[in-house]
Amino acid sequence: MAGAFWCVVEDDRQGQPKKVTAELIGEARRWAGELGGAVEAVWLTDRAAPEGLGHLAAWGASRIWLWEDAALAPYRGETWVPAVANLAGRESPRAIWGAVTSRHRELMARLAARLGGGIAADCVAFGLADGQLVATRPVYAGKIVSRVRWKTGPSLATLRPNVFKAAEAAPGRAPVVERQSLGAVTPATRFVERREEAQTGLPELTEAEIVVSGGRGLKGPENFVLLEELAGVIGAAVGASRAAVDAGWKPHRFQIGQTGRTISPKLYIGCGISGAIQHLAGMRTSKVICAVNKDADAPIFKIADFGLVGDLFEVVPLLTEEFRKLKR
Ligand SMILES: Cc1cc2nc3c(=O)[nH]c(=O)nc-3n(C[C@H](O)[C@H](O)[C@H](O)COP(=O)(O)OP(=O)(O)OC[C@H]3O[C@@H](n4cnc5c(N)ncnc54)[C@H](O)[C@@H]3O)c2cc1C
């Protein structure tokens, strides 16, 4: 029987799988239907809520390999990788897929090295060639699209959030949970201090359907409030260019681009961002791109679906007001 498609669960650290996990399972189900094999979830966490397990089953994971142990949070490659690698050695999955998130990017790369398999990072599509799975992934900051095949199994890949269709939940499926033991863990690193992120009330950047992003054109950190107001009205997440991050106006987790986060929202609104290739690398797969820039020749207008040439300090408050009226 064909090996299973394993989907590594990305969760909210509160015991619930994130939307991107539904996307992983949705895509895996599609290819398991074509090629055979089951779709299974692989979850390493310090807390798995029963409803979270229920979601995984409802999305179509026929089995959930679960490690629930305080030693698994926060993420540490040296703790996570041996657990999954050992199980993969025993179960021989056909594929192991994770999300394009900070920890999954590292986990999957380490797993590939440990298992001696190939990894297709940052996939935006899958297809078949000669009966074999082929992954599509942007390279050179999205200028070229490459198609890659795995020479040996398992087929490891990371999938970009918001690109693949999420599995629809079919309630009533009871989760089949295979609890795994982490065994004795003696990590070489120790956490000294952990700071929780302040809750903004806005959606998470990589999962948001709308992103409002600010660059050097904002002139200073205090002006991000303009974007936060707009974001609050339209339910968007706020992001930033590297220039804004390097200037210390926003922490690095807000940065979009080659050396920051990769996003694919339904709508991206860039304000005071020139559109350098390294920025585009992180957002060019957004479905609709809108740019506000006072320079009509700014490169971002070359890829924008809608461009507003104007001063963001006038345009953004007007947009916020108009959206507010529409919502009323
Ligand atoms: C190896 C490497 C990796 C990099 N990784 C990243 C990355 O991950 N993400 C990233 O973003 N960059 C990255 N960069 C940097 C990138 O090359 C650019 O320098 C950066 O994106 C520029 O940011 P910006 O658009 O905010 O600033 P600028 O290029 O300075 O553009 C500011 C824009 O604001 C406009 N503007 C000014 N005032 C106003 C106003 N009042 N109203 C409207 N518009 C206004 C200007 O016309 C201008 O177009 C990387 C660079 C390197 C070399």
Tens place of pLDDT per residue across the chain (328 aa) = 579 999 999 999 999 999 999 999 999 999 999 999 999 999 999 999 999 999 999 999 999 999 999 999 999 999 999 999 999 999 999 999 999 998 999 999 999 999 999 999 999 999 999 999 999 999 887 889 999 999 988 999 999 999 999 999 998 899 999 999 998 878 888 888 888 777 778 888 988 999 999 999 999 999 999 999 999 999 999 999 999 999 999 999 999 999 999 999 999 999 999 999 999 999 999 999 999 999 999 999 999 999 999 999 999 999 999 999 999 8
Q: How much is the pLDDT for 319?
A: 97
User: What proportion of the chain, given as a percentage, has pLDDT over 90?
Assistant: 88
Q: Which atom of ligand 1 is nearest to the CA of 214?
A: 26
Q: Which atom of ligand 1 is nearest to the CA of 260?
A: 8
Q: For residue 232, give Cα distances in angstroms to 200, 211, 265, 272.
A: 10, 11, 16, 19
CA dihedral 128, 98, 232, 276 (to 10 degrees): -70
Q: Determine the distance separating the centroid of ligand 1 and the alpha carbon of 245, expressed in angstroms.
A: 10
Q: How much is the pLDDT for 187?
A: 82
CA dihedral 114, 119, 288, 326 (to 10 degrees): -30
Q: How much is the pLDDT for 109?
A: 98
Q: Which atom of ligand 1 is nearest to the CA of 292?
A: 43
For ligand 1, pick from 122, 223, 274 the residue to mutate: most ligand atoms within 8 Å of CB: 274
Pocket of ligand 1 (CB under 6 A): 215-217, 241-244, 255-260, 272-274, 276, 278-279, 282, 292-295, 298, 311-313
- Would you call 307 helix, strand, or coil by DSSP? strand
Contacts for 46 with CB less than 8 Å, ≥ 6 apart: 68, 69, 70, 71, 72, 73
Q: How much is the pLDDT for 200?
A: 75
Q: Determine the distance separating the centroid of ligand 1 and the alpha carbon of 242, expressed in angstroms.
A: 7
Q: Determine the distance separating the centroid of ligand 1 and the alpha carbon of 96, expressed in angstroms.
A: 36
Q: How much is the pLDDT for 79?
A: 95
Q: Sort residue 77 into left (φ over 0), alpha (ψ -120 to 50) or beta.
A: alpha
Q: Determine the distance separating the centroid of ligand 1 and the alpha carbon of 273, expressed in angstroms.
A: 5
Give yes or no for a contact between 269 and 210, defined as CB atoms under 8 angstroms apart.
yes
Q: Determine the distance separating the centroid of ligand 1 and the alpha carbon of 274, expressed in angstroms.
A: 5
